[in-house]
Each structure stands twice: as structure tokens, then as C-alpha cells.
Amino acid sequence: MSINILKLARSNVQRLIPYQSARRIGGGHGDILLNANESSKPVFFESKKKSFHRYPECQPNNVISSYANYTNLSCNQILVTRGADEGIELLIKAFCEPGQDAIMYCPPTYDMYRVNAEIHGVEIKEIPTIKNTWQLDLLNIQLNLNRVKLVYVCNPNNPTGNILLKQDLISLLKITLGHSLVVIDEAYIEFSPKESMTNYLKKYPNLVILRTLSKAFALAGIRCGFTLANKEVIDILNKVISPYPISAPVSDIAVQSLEIAYIKLMQDRVLDSNNNRIWLIDQLKNIHCVEKVFQSNANYILVKFFMFKQVFQNLWDKGVILRSQNNKINLKNCIRISIGTRLESLRLIKELKIFSKEIFEGKTSEK
């Protein structure tokens, strides 16, 4: 007897298009992976813990105290999660009634805000950022806040790489006060640390900040993130988090990465990445197939190409794996490029120049 398992799934899950992570779409087969905004250089740790027969703490105190020292916050303002992604989901679980409440997000941006809302049956209100500047459309946000419990914004924004104006973020906190939580995703904030909003947690009880060790700390593989908020919010999230979200080896490595010496190494890597980003932007501006290079404040840049499909596929075939943004609102013909090592960037530029010479100079000679 055959059974249609699909019909047993919730109707919204049947319709769901899952988030297409870099590894999920096969972007791991090349020799130069510039598609997931990972650190181009690894860091090496050994777990100090040798036995694993006991369950770990739900919220490991040593990790929380280490991150509290790093962010200059109190321990009761911090929740440790499986990457920043778990924080996105926990907030929807804790604050949104399915079929009744809504979240708001501002594309083009990180898709997991939308995907998590769809999974949990929560309405989504899309208020696109202002085209080309990628800044918040505060007027339309204010006009559409009815039933919105959570407003997700990413700063620096992924995939555009821009910084949101601090005054706009403050205005957003003011217009939502008493009605919605403003969730600022600071996954890439170490690349522009002066733009962090952690100092505003005391003033605005509706502010929530998401952080991660995946980017600047070069620990994408351990999946460790943080939700920063006032104690009342953290207490609510602790009600819905799973019993043992952070494994003992993850806690061990996270604590090591937050030691002063390793924080200094992280900052050195960030400086190197930022310098490589400036160099890469300058190089890209002189290549014929590049239509526009957007300024960035993170470890990636957004580039608009002529002959977008051919450029992307040509690089893919050569083992240089980038991330297409062509299907996102206002990002037609755009590709996101993670900042790699200088050698990786040189290879990218070399392949783009070869492509441009073959296509564009060939067409000129034909004339």
C-alpha cells in the first residue's frame, strides 16, 4: 500500500522553498570558495575536554561570561545559540502567534528571516530597502507595523554590504517601542565594529542583537552564535530553546576563541580582509564585464555584471565559486563575492580578465 507522505506535512511546509545554503546548492566542489562569506584563513583549536558521557549545560556559563566580557554586557543579557540562525527562529517561536502576528524584513537581505516565518506559519511583511542606497524605508515601515511583532534588519546588510544609518536604526527603535522588537543582525559587525548597536540596549528595551562566531572569528564549522537583549527578552527565549543546544566541544572552542590573544588574531584577520576588499574593489572596476561594484563594509562585495550568466558559469567551471543574487529584489545580474586571500582574489581577477578579453575584445575585433 502506497502512502503519500507529502500530504501528511503541514500545508505551509509543502509549499516551502528551503533556504539555499552555499553547500546545499553544490557550491563546495571548487578550489576557490568565495560563496559563503566564511573566513579565508582557518584557526586551529584542540578541545580540552576529553570525556563526553554527560549532557552539556543548556547555557554554558563560561561561554556567556567570555562573550559578556567581549561585548561589555551583563551575563543575563546573553543567550548562546546554534549560530545566529537559531536566534532568528527562537524569536519567532517565542513572540509570534501563528496565523495572527507578522514579522517584517527589508529585502534584499538574508533570506532566513522569511524562511523561518514561513515555517512557523507567521505572516511576512516585506518592505524593500531604498533602491541603490539600500537604506531603510522608514515611512513604509511605519505605515505597515500593524500586527508586526518582529522587525529584522541586517547591519552590515547581506548581500549588499552597506551599513544602515545609525539615526535610521534609532528612529526604527522609537517608532516600534511598545509594539515590536527590532532585531539587528550583526553577523558581520566585526568588520565595522563602530557601527554596533550594543550600547543602545540599555536605552531601548525592544532592541535585540544577533551575533556569531562564524564570520570574523573564523569558526563557521562549530555553529555558535549569540542573542543579545535585555534580561526580560532573554528569559523568554530561555523558555523555548532546546534542552542542550551547545555541545561541549563547541563551548570549549568558543571560550578559547574569546581569549584576549585570539581576539587580537581575529582583529588582525579582519584588517587583512578589509585591505583585500579595498584592493579587490579597485581591481574589479577596471574589468570590462563588470558593470558596477557596490561599496561594502563586510567580508564580501556585491558586483553587477554584464553577461551575468556567462560570467557566473565560466567561473564555476574554473573552480571559482561565487554566490548569485540575480533572483533577489533589485539585484538583477548581481553576484556576491566573499573576500578571500590575496592569492584567491588574484585568481578571480585573472579569470575575469581572461573572460573579458575573449568576449569583449573579441567582439571589438570582429567589428
Closest among 131, 102, 140, 94 to 118, alpha carbons compared: 102
Question: Per-domain residue ranges for the chain?
Answer: 10-38+262-353, 61-259
For residues 200, 201, 205 and 211, what is the CA-based torsion angle, rounded to 10 degrees? Answer: 120
At residue 67's C-alpha, the angle toward residues 61 and 70, to 5°, is 145
Residue by residue, pLDDT tens for the chain (367 residues) are 567 888 888 888 888 888 878 777 766 678 899 999 999 999 999 888 889 999 999 999 999 999 999 999 999 999 999 999 999 999 999 999 999 999 999 999 999 999 999 999 999 999 999 988 999 999 999 999 999 999 999 999 999 999 999 999 999 999 999 999 999 999 999 999 999 999 999 999 999 999 999 999 999 999 999 999 999 999 999 999 999 999 999 999 999 999 999 999 999 999 999 999 999 999 999 999 999 999 999 999 999 999 999 999 999 999 999 999 999 999 999 999 999 999 999 999 999 999 998 886 655 444 3
Is residue 263 within 8 Å of residue 70, measured between CB atoms? yes
> Taking the CA of residue 28 as centre, how many other CA atoms within 13 Å lie in the half-sphere pointing to its CB?
8
CA distance 63 to 245: 13
Does the CA dihedral 315-317-321-322 come out positive or negative?
positive
* pLDDT for residue 1: 56
Q: What is the pLDDT of residue 367?
A: 38
Contacts of residue 103, Cβ cutoff 8 Å, sequence gap at least 6: 92, 96, 113, 117, 122, 123, 124, 125, 148, 149, 150, 151, 152
CB-based contact 315:286 (threshold 8 Å): no
Number of other residues whose CB lies within 10 A of the CB of residue 362: 10
List the end-to-end C-alpha distance of the chain, in Å, as a whole number.
67
- Angstrom distance (rounded) from CA 135 to CA 171: 13
In this prediction, residue 192 carries a pLDDT of 97
Go through the chain and tell me how many residues it has.
367
Domain 10-38+262-353 bears CATH identifier 3.40.30.10: no
Per-residue model confidence (pLDDT) at position 48: 84
Other CB atoms within a 10 A radius of the CB of residue 316 amount to: 17
Per-residue pLDDT, 26: 66
Give the predicted TM-score (pTM) of the model.
0.94
Residue 107 CB neighbours (<10 A): 17
Distance CA 208, CA 91 (A): 9
Q: What is the pLDDT of residue 4?
A: 83
Asked whether 290 and 303 are in contact (CB, 8 A), the reply is yes
Q: State residue 50's pLDDT score.
A: 87
**CATH number of the structural domain 61-259:** 3.40.640.10
Burial of 2 (0-12, 13-18, 19+ CB in 10 A): exposed
